[in-house]
């Protein structure tokens, strides 16, 4: 039963963190588009890992946006507590999620494969 509560809170954290970052955080370094992929919450709700994907053409701007998000962790945590009205607000740890980049790289590799004719001389 407790696991279900953690899952529901993780979904709510994900929605609220994204909303706080996009509407309330004013940082000039946050120039790129980003997405909160998932949130993992510990059993005691003291820590949460927030997986973030940043979409950018350059690595420098991608890193700058991610660093701005990381630097806003304390502010986001305070706003999260106010928005969700919960007693324990977890300490947020933002982690880069490269799964979309990995998937894109795999797609590119698969698209370069050529299918030749296969001859069986039995």
Cβ neighbors of 29 (< 8 A, separation 6 or more) are 64, 65, 67, 68
pLDDT score for 100: 73
Query: Which is more confident, 122 or 97?
Result: 97
Does the domain at 2-112 match CATH 3.10.350.10? Answer given as no
Q: How far apart, in whole angstroms, are the C-alpha atoms of residue 91 and residue 20?
A: 15
Tell me which DSSP letter residue 90 carries.
Answer: P
| pLDDT score of 6 more than 50 | yes
The per-residue pLDDT for 1 is 46
Q: What is the pLDDT of residues 36-91, one digit of tens each?
A: 999 999 988 899 999 999 988 888 999 999 999 999 999 999 999 999 988 889 99
State if pTM tops 0.85: no
Q: Is the pLDDT of residue 103 over 90?
A: no
Q: Rounded mean pLDDT of the chain?
A: 88
The pLDDT confidence band at residue 116, using thresholds 50, 70 and 90, is low
């Amino acid at each position: 039963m407790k696991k279900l509560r953690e899952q529901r809170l993780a979904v709510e954290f994900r929605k609220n963190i994204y909303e706080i970052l996009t509407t309330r955080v004013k940082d000039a370094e946050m120039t790129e588009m980003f997405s909160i992929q998932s949130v993992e919450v510990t059993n005691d709700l003291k820590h949460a890992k927030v997986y973030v994907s940043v979409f950018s053409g350059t690595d420098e701007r991608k890193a700058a946006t991610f660093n701005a998000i990381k630097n806003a962790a304390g502010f986001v945590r305070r706003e999260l507590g106010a928005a969700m009205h919960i007693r324990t607000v977890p300490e947020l740890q933002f982690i880069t999620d490269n799964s979309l980049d990995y998937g894109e790289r795999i797609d590119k590799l698969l698209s370069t494969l050529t299918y030749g004719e296969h001859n069986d001389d039995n």
